[in-house]
Amino acid sequence: MALFKKTIVAATALACGLASAPVAAQDFVPVGPRALGMGGAGVAAVTDTTAQYYNPAAFGFFNLRDEQGQRFDCDNNDCGRKFWGIDLDAGLGYRLHNEFGKYLDPLANMDIDRLSTGVQSQSDLQDLVEIVGGLSGLDDPGNAITADLNAGLGARIGRFGMGVRTYVQGTGRVVEIDSENFGINGNLGADISALPEITGNDGATLLFTAEQQAQLAAANFDQTAIQRVDFLARQQGIRPDQAQQSVDLLVAAANEPGGDAATALKNNRTTVALDGFGLMEIPLSYGHALNENWSLGASLKFMLGRVYGTQIFVFDDNTDEVIRQMDDDYNQSANFGIDLGLLGRYKYVNFGLVGRNLNAPKFDGFTKTTTLSNGQTVTTTVSDTRLDPQVRAGVAFIPFTTLTLAADLDLTENGTTFSSYKTRYASFGLEWDAFRVLALRAGAYKNLANSDIDWVYTAGLGLNLWALRLDLAGAVATEKEEFDGDDIPREARLAAMLSIDF
């Protein structure tokens, strides 16, 4: 299944060349390793330039002085000591939605070209049933893979912050399964019946309905062939609601004796859509302390957005070329964004509230026409992408100068490049800054808007060498999917930062 595997590799390539784009395409993903290590909680606990993302009001407390020039010890984080700093950070992650990994796994290493010559062994039949089952499940609306990347360079001087940040997110999903142009040379039903006895076969027909069995019989499947396919389909985990599409694929695969399977595959329109959005922001942030306990902040952002959209026809001869050129399939437009933040700092507890992209900036889509190897043309319309406002609240408890416990909650549901998937995170975490040299972090977050991925656990560490700091963090979901023989988490993330902090 070489072409299908290349398609999925393209879908996971961090969305850099990602057919109809989402309306709202940015969720509140963790930015920076300190926040990621603490479960994504940063609105009330942020202490570096990622305040441009989490809460610009934090800048109001950096280097805060009284009338006599003495700094305020705003809280046990001692934010008043911070004068200037530079941070360079990067992070990446992915999500496997619903049962995407389960249905992708049997397809990744299949050789459909070999199968198109006929079913000659039990192994061939098992591979065929696995392909049918995978294709039947992959186009369920909830199945997709999403990847994202973010990176930033930020600087702060007193109550001002500036920098440049990039965010890229993309989703790969099957949008059409062509169950007609899917052929195998030879008489498929007769070939299945002629195979030696299928190991473990119970001789029952428990999955396919009477109508579906009649459909297979009309395609020259006798009762033996139907029972064998039914048994292997149940072993593969094909559900009753997927049985009809599986039967349609088997009937198409049967083809007429002497038919041309290669031509059928050439005309097959099984389609993967790669949706994506890339954003570069140049924010200028300012925080104003109303008093020693409360601060307001704002970020004005110049935004350069790229709306990506590509349709890949899995069995088309030009698929490799489409994948190579997918990062050219975008439209770029500019806009601006406004973020506002509020932060209250007391000795032991902080409160924060932030609103991002409050003006709902929009970026233009596009229309493109693709010519397939068989001469057909396909028009793809990629919709405009709008960044809906996001609101998040946070609280931090700081009982000692070396210990911080934090929690954030999204007050809005946020869109992603997967149009049917929303996020609304609850995040919890802690940081123990042992001896001011080694910071240890742990946390967890959960998406309250969708239940396909359960809790994601996070951990991180920071190494402080006077003014130089290195931070690392990672996150893995509790739930796993099997892919290519390995169990992999349904969601995983990594982040790193190098900082100069004065």
Q: What does pTM read for this prediction?
A: 0.85
For residue 274, what pLDDT is reported? Answer: 81
Q: Which is it for the CA torsion 370, 376, 377, 380, positive or negative?
A: negative
Neighbour tally for 378: CB within 10 Å: 15
Sign of the alpha-carbon torsion through 8, 422, 58, 475: negative
Map tokens 């912050």 to a residue: 161
The closest alpha carbon to 300, from 281, 280, 287, 283, belongs to 283
Query: How far is 440 from 494, CA to CA, in rounded Å?
Result: 16
Residues 358, 301: contact at Cβ < 8 Å?
Answer: no
Cross-strand pairs, 394 = 352, 408
Per-residue pLDDT at 373: 65
Query: 306 to each of 11, 19, 334, how far by Cα in Å?
Result: 17, 14, 9
**How open is the CA angle 134-136-142, to the nearest 5 degrees?**
90
Give first-to-last CA distance, the chain, whole Å: 55
Tokens (6 digits) for 272? 């993967």
DSSP designation for 131:
H
Grouping H, G, I as helix, E, B as strand and the rest as coil, residue 79 is helix
Distance (Å, rounded) from C-alpha 47 to C-alpha 58? 7
The per-residue pLDDT for 101 is: 74
Among residues 425, 496, 411, the alpha carbon closest in space to that of 456 is found at 425
Q: What is the predicted pLDDT for the residue at 259?
A: 52
Q: Which domains does the chain have, with CATH numbers?
A: 2-98+140-178+268-501 (2.40.160.60)
Cβ atoms < 10 Å from Cβ of 211:
9
Q: What is the mean pLDDT of each run of 10 residues along the chain (502 residues)?
A: 46 40 69 97 95 96 76 70 92 89 68 72 87 80 88 95 94 79 79 90 92 93 94 91 90 66 68 87 96 95 92 66 66 96 94 97 88 72 90 96 95 91 96 90 97 94 92 95 80 97 86
* pLDDT in the model for residue 354: 98
CB atoms within 10 A of CB 171: 28
Dihedral of alpha carbons 8, 14, 20, 24, sign: positive
Q: What is the pLDDT of residue 470?
A: 97
Query: Tell me, what's the pLDDT at 20?
Result: 41
Dihedral sign computed on CA atoms, order 57, 59, 61, 65 = negative
SS3 percent helix, strand, coil of the chain, rounded to 5, is 25, 40, 35
User: In whole angstroms, what is the distance from residue 158 CA to residue 139 CA?
Assistant: 52
